[in-house]
Chains A and B, each alone.
Chain A
Amino acid sequence: MDGSADTADVLAVEGLYAGYGPVEVLHGIDLTVGVREIVVVLGANGAGKTTTMRAVSGMIPRKGVVRFAGRDISNVSPDAIVRAGVAHVPQGRGTFMDLSVEDNLRVGAYVRNDDPSDDISRWLDVFPRLKDRRAQKAGSLSGGEQQMLAIARALMSRPRLLLCDEPSLGLAPVLVQEMFRTLAELNRDTNTAVLLVEQNANLAMAIAHRAYLLETGAIVASGDAKEMLDDDAIRKAYLGY
């Protein structure tokens, strides 16, 4: 397994239960993300993919152990989890619509105490379309540009782990490919581990090192992304060919 050569996991989830009010969505899942790894969680609508992400980043109440870089963060508030080094790009992107592109990036650097200007230039170079619109309000961007902004905003905090919830949602196919390529490059160039949740399984599997299959709140299969692609049963059930 390439990418997971490092022994330590940046994220280790054990027996994670979470849900909304009386409704339990996750029924005790185990999951790890290695340093520098891209891990994808696949699953149908309602399987609990988004809930997994929200439970890891502390947005919803959860039970079980969530360990980030060896530290138990299962009782830590969402903003403190960001400070610890986890950045979450939520479904629907979570951009600050009334703020300019540049201010969105500054918000991303909120947890840092140094001058974020260099990082702003850096990510505007990676996403040139944002550079042309740096003074525009985020609300005026297209869906693809907003997704780029959401990822750039998350990277401004210099995370060790990036949580990406359905980044392909609502994007044109050509943009989806570009975005996955960018994610793979970011993972390689910045040593940021990525936990990705996707319905677009083909493209996600192409850049992932490992994958988990989530079905009604439980992990039903996991393993090396390439090996899983070779498994006929899994391919038929989840990739549809």
Chain B
Amino acid sequence: MKDFLQYLFDGLSSGAIYALIAVSLVIVYRGTGHLNFAQGEMAMISAFMAWWLSSNWMPIWAAVVVSMIFAFALGAITEGLIIRPIGQRSQFAVAVAAIGLLLGLNALAPFAWKVTVPQAFESLFPKKDSDFARIGGATWRYEYIGVLITLLVVATLLFLLFQKTKLGLAMRAVASNPDSAPLAGINKGRVLMVSWGLAATVGAVGGAMVASLRGNVDPSMMLAIFFSATAAAMLGGFDSLIGAVVAGLALGVIENMVAGYQPDIIGQELKGSVSLIVILVVLLFRPSGLFGTRRVERV
């Protein structure tokens, strides 16, 4: 029982991070129908921004907020300047451009900030050795609880945005029928820019969480996480926000359970591949994921 709880607590925090990036991917996918391969690197750049601001000018929480604003601009500009013009010519080219962006941003971080080694990132949550709750013999570190609460707050805010505001209504309308949205007076271009901006903002929260748990920022910090987050988005159905949250948490827990109970066969090194096996099996039986809309083409 103690082990089970421990794996559960550990899994929920890594799952919360998968969920945050998966939610970003879903917001972009619902808007423009693209998988943004650079989503993780956008989050990494935002985390560098937060590190840079906090080590020079401001407290860490303020730096994260400013980095979220920066991320919004980065996402919106990427959609308007790169994704849309390319997408009008070829949808396939958008995927290539996103991969290019991944590599470009990955190279940009050490270049822009002239750093070659991981840079210390101040924790966002209490991180002393004694900062944990003891539940059923297992320890639940406050910083892990903090990450989970952050995810729940972000998910709640997004739910309210999509369900209760006019902007959210416009975003749902564009996702449901992009051709018809302009006929309702919706400026589709602006909605898509906001979608990409919003996705990058949520990603920036994820990036800050990763940096806080690691205790540093590093250009490669989001690469492995991006794969698990993509798996979570697929598992959740790619067009479902709730699906992304549930699948992200589930993958985090499954990975830690498998690695914990099979330390010799799987262990920490191979636990990332558990996600890939899980989505392979799920997609074999449910191609639209657990929460995805099953598309019915009517002629």
Interface residues of A (CB under 8 A from B): 57, 59, 77-79, 82-83, 87-88, 90, 94-99, 103, 106-108, 110-111, 153, 157
Contacts and interface: CB of A to CB of B under 8 A. Distances in A.
Contacts, number: 64
Given A78-B183, A79-B185, A96-B180, A107 B169 contact: yes
Interface in B142-193: 166, 169-170, 172-173, 175-177, 179-188
Q: How large is the interface on B (under 10, 10 to 19, 20 to 34, 35 or more residues)?
A: 10 to 19
A98 B172 contact: yes
Interface of B: 166, 169-170, 172-173, 175-177, 179-188, 293
A97 B182 contact: no
Most buried by A among B181, B182, B183, B185: B183
Given A98-B172, A110-B166, A110-B170, A88 B177 contact: no
Contacts of B176: 96-99
Could you tell me the dominant secondary structure of chain A's interface residues?
Answer: loop
B293 A82 contact: no
A215 B172 CA distance: 39
27 contacts: A78-B182, A78-B183, A79-B186, A79-B188, A82-B185, A83-B185, A87-B183, A88-B183, A90-B179, A90-B180, A94-B177, A94-B180, A94-B183, A95-B177, A96-B172, A96-B176, A96-B180, A98-B172, A98-B293, A107-B169, A108-B184, A110-B169, A110-B184, A110-B186, A111-B185, A153-B184, A157-B185
A79 B177 contact: no
Contacts of B181: 107
Contacts of B188: 79
A28 to B, nearest CB: 25
Contacts of A78: 182-183
Given A97-B176, A107-B169, 6 more contacts: A82-B185, A88-B183, A94-B179, A95-B180, A99-B176, A103-B172
B182 A157 contact: no
A78 B187 CA distance: 8
Contacts of B180: 90, 94-96
A108 B186 CA distance: 9
Contacts of A103: 169, 172
Contacts of A99: 172-173, 176
A107 B182 contact: no
